[in-house]
Chain A
């Protein structure tokens, strides 16, 4: 069964962000929500994550779902090591050795073996974001919400991040909802791409990509054509 939000209405300071908005998310898939800056993407993510209360909305399939988050900034505790930051969000009913073992597994997947004892201040921006990805997966959750986590990284680093994310995701297929305003990120990352219009947000395009994330090349004619289509939808 998929996840669905129906008839979402949300206004803020007299501005209509969503009016009778409907969107469904297939489970165990990466859905990418693409939209111009200020179109309410983050608000939508926060509504899904039950952080922001909508004026009205019908949620289907979200009952008892637990969420993990990957933010724009890594948001790591500076006084905890990489290992400590990951263990911080893990279930408290796990024993210390279980927590340690599971955290180590995720550290290995994001290729940070050897950095487990490092404090965030000693890591690069990309490394910190990898820790934040590992933390999201280490947390017991059903859905991972991502709010432009690759913003500010260069294309090469973005591609690497997506490769690491794909590695970790393949091992543990969770539903991922990812918002961005960057078409390249959406093309590199999303299995489903939903394009939102300016306010009040409406869906102006919905695309599916079957090619695995690790095999995607933006120079391929397929991606070039799709990019043109998405850019056109964004500008509409």
Chain B
């Protein structure tokens, strides 16, 4: 059943209001800003943090780590995904590796990365390892879903292999890359922040959350969490915008 844009908007707002209401009830019930601060106080903290001179440095450090991790995973994921999609033997070879990477607990990766890398590189490494399998698997699925009748048509019409790759395979997998990017980014931001919490680079949202937690500043911990959610939403919106611009034919 389709719901109108206005109704969808209204339901969305109702959902946020419900969350705020539950939060407010909990804050009143516990009556302690160390356990559950009031939403309005937390909002003020968010504004204060965002207007702080060091905010841009902190947020941009996390965003840059996320983007670097994403770019590396996208390049690797797309290249390996295309290879695995067109070559069954390579897919058989790479599948157990992807399953293993996906199954390793993030914390285990972080603990190892803490030994291997410096504090700024740990979150990038973690982001890369968590995002790469999503992008790669989606690209493989995309290649596999390419309509073989279209490939046959292109071959009947003597279209070159290069043209088939660029004008048939790549446009066909773009929706899968976008979907993989969306899932990867969702998981990736969380992994980066966990990585920052544990590796404590000089700047980073995770570093700031950890510092706030040490001083039992729950308001600031939640405020930084909200900022991280906002950053993640902005990137999700950017991905959706790219989808609208790039997949105009659906």
Contacts and interface: CB of A to CB of B under 8 A. Distances in A.
Contacts of B247: 79
A-B pairs, 9 with minimum CB distance? A79-B171, A75-B153, A119-B249, A89-B157, A79-B249, A69-B156, A75-B149, A78-B249, A139-B157
B250 interface: yes
A228 B124 CA distance: 76
Interface residues of B, number: 19
Q: What is the interface residue range for chain A against chain B?
A: 20 to 34
Contacts of A88: 154, 157, 159, 167
Contacts of B250: 78, 121
A77 B247 CA distance: 13
The A interface, classified by DSSP as helix, strand, loop or mixed, is loop
Q: Which of A69, A73, A88, A119 has the most CB of B within 10 A?
A: A88
Nearest to A81: B249
Contact of B156 (A51, A77, A80): A51
A73 B148 CA distance: 13
A66 interface: yes
Interface string A81-113: 000000011001000000000000000000000
**Most chain A CB within a 10 A radius of its CB, from B150, B152, B167, B249:** B249
A67 B156 contact: yes
7 contacts: A51-B156, A67-B156, A75-B150, A77-B150, A88-B159, A120-B249, A139-B157
B171 A71 contact: no
A69 B158 contact: no
A49 interface: yes
A154 B223 CA distance: 64
Contacts of B249: 78-80, 119-121
B168 A77 contact: yes
A175 interface: no
Contacts of B158: 66
A92 B167 CA distance: 14
Interface in B141-181: 149-150, 152-154, 156-160, 163, 167-168, 171-172
